[in-house]
Amino acid sequence: MKLTAETLAAQAFQARIALSEDQAAALLPQINEMLGDFDALNELDTTGVEPLVSVLSLHNVMRPDEVRQNFGRAQLLANAPKRTEEAFVVPKTVE
C-alpha cells in the first residue's frame, strides 16, 4: 500500500496537524517505507494462530464479592472529632 500526497494531506488535516509542503515531501517516503514493512508482515502465514488482546498474560485481580460484617452508626462515628447523633460534622465550605 502506498500513501499519496493527497491522502497524507487529508490525514494531516483530520488530525489537525499543520504540514508544510516541504515537511510532507520529507515525511511521505518515510511513511511509505513503514507501510511497506507492514505489507511484509501480511505475507506471513498466520493460520492456526489465535489473535491476542495483549502479549502479557493478564488475569483478573479483583477479589470475590463476599458479605462482610456490617458496622453500626455508633461504631462508625466513635472516632470522629465532631459528630452529631447521626452524622459527621465538617466545616462549612460554601457560603
Domain boundaries, the chain: 5-42
Q: What is the pLDDT of residues 14-24, one digit of tens each?
A: 999 999 999 99
Cβ-contact 46, 53 below 8 angstroms: no
39 vs 5, 28, 34, 95, CA distance in Å?
Answer: 19, 16, 9, 64
* 3: nearest Cα among 26, 23, 46, 33: 33
The whole-angstrom separation of Cα 35 and Cα 16 is 22
pLDDT for the residue numbered 68: 87
Which stretches of the chain drop beneath a pLDDT of 50? Answer: none
